[in-house]
Amino acid sequence: MVGLLLIAWALRLPPLLDRPLHPDEALYGYWGLLVSRGRDIWLTSGPVYKPPMLPYVVSICQLLLGDTTIALRMAGFAAGLVTVPLVGALAHVLYEDRWTAVGASVAAALSPLAVALSGTAFPDPLMVVFGVGACLAAARQRERWAGLLAALSFATKQTGLIWLPLVVGVTVAEDARSIRRLGRLSFFYLIPLSLVLAWDQVRVGIGADSFWSVGVVGYGGLRLIWPHELWPRLRGWADLVQSLFRSPLINVVLLLGLPLLIARAVRRCSERRHAFLDLLLTIFCLVYVLLHWLVAFPIWSRYLLPMVPILSILVGRMTRAAMSLVWNRMKLRPRLGLSAGLLALLLILPAREASAGRSTVADDYTSYQGVEEVVTFLSELPEGSVVYHHWLGWHYHYALFDVPVYLAYWPTPAWLAEDVQAFGEGDARYVAFPPWESSARVERALAEVGYRLEPARRAPPAGNHRSFVVYRIVPSPTE
First to last CA, the chain: 74
* 3-state secondary structure labels for all residues of 298-316: CCCHHHHCCHHHHHHHHHH
Band (192; pLDDT cuts 50, 70, 90): very high
- 391 and 351 share a domain? no
Question: What residue numbers bound the domain in which 471 lies?
Answer: 367-475
pLDDT (average), residues 347-352? 94
Positive or negative, the CA dihedral 388, 393, 397, 400 is negative
pLDDT (average), residues 412-422? 94
- Looking at per-residue pLDDT, the higher value among 407 and 338 belongs to 407
For residue 339, what pLDDT is reported?
A: 75
**CA atoms within a 13 Å half-sphere pointing along the CA-CB vector of 402:** 5
Answer whether 459's CB lies under 8 Å from 374's CB: yes
Indicate the length of the chain as a whole number.
479
- 254 and 341 share a domain? yes
pLDDT tens figures, 223-279: 899 999 999 999 999 999 988 998 888 888 888 888 888 887 777 654 578 888 999
Give residue 438's region: left, alpha or beta (phi > 0; psi -120 to 50): beta
**Burial of 256 (C-beta count, 10 Å sphere; 0-12/13-18/19+):** exposed
**Burial of 182 (C-beta count, 10 Å sphere; 0-12/13-18/19+):** middle
Strands 429-433 and 469-475, sheet pairing = antiparallel
pLDDT (average), residues 57-79? 95
- 232 and 349 share a domain? yes
SS3 content of the chain, % helix, strand, coil (to 5): 65, 5, 25
- 65 and 202 share a domain? yes
Task: Write down which residue in 331, 365, 399 finishes a domain.
Answer: 365
For residue 336, what pLDDT is reported?
A: 62
Q: In the predicted model, is pLDDT for residue 479 greater than 60?
A: no
Answer whether 471's CB lies under 8 Å from 452's CB: no
For residue 332, what pLDDT is reported?
A: 55
- 361 and 378 share a domain? no
- 107 and 213 share a domain? yes
Range scoring the smallest mean pLDDT among 5-14, 93-102, 127-136, 319-328: 319-328
- 194 and 85 share a domain? yes
Percent of the chain with pLDDT over 70: 94
Domain count, the chain: 2
